[in-house]
Structure 1
Amino acid sequence: MFIHVMKSKLHRVKITQAELNYVGSVTIDEDLMDAANLIENEKVQIVNNNNGERFETYVITGERGSGTVCLNGAAARRAQVGDIVIIIAYGIMTPEEAKEHKPNLVFPDSNNRLV
């Protein structure tokens, strides 16, 4: 049996842009991606602390050091610029692997910069 376990989390990042007329995804600063061990095209869940929305999309690499967290396409309807979100990626593993697994937890500052 396999279970879904949190692999990575960007905790309380701020939405910096919302681009409705774009192919759906979330663009994330490459520094944040590296810190959370996220890769381009990886599926993520986004939880909006401002309105309670929860949705899934995939990651696009953003400009390194920019602090960008941009919702694209339909996802842009789920949050406003300035909303605080949590971005979570999950891995599939055995219960034995999950007991040893240590997720990458990232707590950026209020400008989406690593501290």
Structure 2
Amino acid sequence: MQIEVFKSKIHRAKVTQAELHYVGSITLDEHLMEASGIIENEKVQIVNVNNGERFETYVIKGEKGSGTVCLNGPAARRVQVGDIIIVVSYGIMDYEEAKTFKPKIVFPDKNNRLA
């Protein structure tokens, strides 16, 4: 049996931009992506701590070291610059493998940088 499990997350990143007139997605600093194991074009869930919004989109790679967390397209209406969000990814794996799988969790600082 295959099940969907929590794979990784970027916990409490600050939204740096919201660009309504864009095709769509979330642009993330490549450092955050690498540390969390999230890859470009991966489907992610966004949880907005400030307003409770939850929605799905896909990831675009942002400039490494920039601290960029930008919601694009319609998703830009679900956040304000400065909001704190959680970016969650999930994976599908074998039931037995899922029992021992350890997700990656990244805790960026107030500037979306890693310690």
TM, length-normalised to structure 1 = 0.98
Residue 89 (structure 1) shift = 0.3
Q: Is 2:73 aligned against 1:87?
A: no
Gaps of 5+ in 2: none
Cα distance in 2 between the residues matched to 1:106 and 1:95: 25
1: CA distance between counterparts of 2:101 and 2:111?
A: 29
Q: Once the 2 structures are TM-superposed, how far is the Cα of residue 71 of structure 1 from its aligned partner?
A: 0.1
Normalised to the residue count of structure 2, the TM-score between the two structures is 0.98
**1:2 positional shift:** 1.4
Aligned residues: 115
CA distance in 1, matches of 2:24, 2:56: 10
Aligned counterpart, 2:17? 17
Distance in 1 between residues matched to 2:86 and 2:11, nearest whole Å: 5
* Deviation of 1:93 (Å): 1.0
Identity %: 73
Consecutive unaligned residues in structure 1, runs of 5 or more: none
1:1-115 aligned within 5 A: 1-115=1-115
- For the aligned residue pairs, the C-alpha RMSD in angstroms reads 0.5
